[in-house]
Amino acid sequence: MSPEIAAPPIEKKNYLTALKDAIRLEMQRNPDMICIGEDIGLLGGAFGVTEGLQEEFGADRVIDAPISEAAIVGSAIGMALRGRTVMVEMQFIDFISCGFDQIVNNAATMAYRTAGKASVPIVIRGPSGGYGGGGPYHSQQNEAWFAHSPGLKVVCPSTPRDAYGLMVASLRDPNPVIFYEVKDLYRKREIEEEIPEDTYVPLGSASVVREGSDITIISYGNPMHMCIKVAGMLADDGVEAELIDLRTLVPLDEETIYRSVKKTGRVLVVNEASRTCGFAGEVIARINENCFEYLDAPPLRVTRADTPVPWVQPLELAVLPSVEQIYETALRIAKF
């Protein structure tokens, strides 16, 4: 009998490669899918997420567009209404504001205005977030804008596996999806992981990253990794934190949130975006509405300060959430 040959190990992928592979997979699977954006073809995108796709699929499916986000999104909506699935790249998510009217007044409302007869299967994705010295024009987390617009789905993964699986799910969804990619995580080697090709993460499903009994810490995107560090620090203090990664903001997995809060009685929510009207406040409002009788301490949040993100790194770090700030706030809640 011949010896069994072990299957080769699955190569670990970083966050950026996971996104690229998911888009390529869907381009191969769906001949009606196209990509459009600034410099996504010959250049392969500002960060390389679409590198090689134009060479593989042709310039008629991977389209280099003029520098006009409104025109790009408007064209994508039109193509989607004619049966295409469209991936739209924003070179930086900050500039999505230039296409805001097309997104919130046209894409978001199309299914409602046509009584469900028309759908807009587009995914608008792009690099977001700070911690890299990008200044006010290249550091935004503006997800609350779109969470506030009925008809849009909003996604922000924190791991390569989730980035891959959520991108696949988003490109197969008939609704418009705003997909936030944390550029600070693109090439972080310490979060690389194996990702089977059939990985699929359904929209609207949060992940319990760590189980605990004393406090629930809820986050998404880049701060999720700070929360993981904080959970270890809290454990040294005898406080067991349960960590929830929302992954999808709209639709929101309320069931997972409420189950955890009812168990721990204490909650901290962390988001990188600014404080006023940020998504952390929405999560806390829903917890207060649905779990108030289970709370043993006031729910608190850690967010960016209500200021643009400075370019100079010491100032940037001063206004953004930090491990120390999250730890101190979590400990205060635990001791309440």
* Cα 7–chain centre separation: 32
Tokens of 178: 């705003």
Q: How many Å apart are CA 253 and CA 255, to the nearest integer?
A: 6
User: Rounded to the nearest 10 degrees, what angle do helices 15-29 and 160-171 cross at?
Assistant: 30
Tokens of 92: 């930086």
Tell which residue, 12, 7, 5, has the closest CA to residue 195: 12
**Residue 334 burial (C-beta neighbours within 10 Å; 0-12, 13-18, 19+):** buried
Q: Is 138 a catalytic residue?
A: yes
Question: DSSP state, 123?
Answer: E
Torsion sign across C-alpha atoms 325, 328, 332, 334: positive
Q: Which residues contact 293 (CB under 8 A, 6 or more apart)?
A: none
DSSP 41-72: SSS--SSSTTTTHHHHH-TTTEEE--S-HHHH
Tokens of 125: 């994705």
The active-site residue out of 13, 20, 138, 247 is 138
Q: What is the helix, strand, coil percentage profile of the chain, to 5?
A: 40, 20, 40
Residues annotated as part of the active site: 138
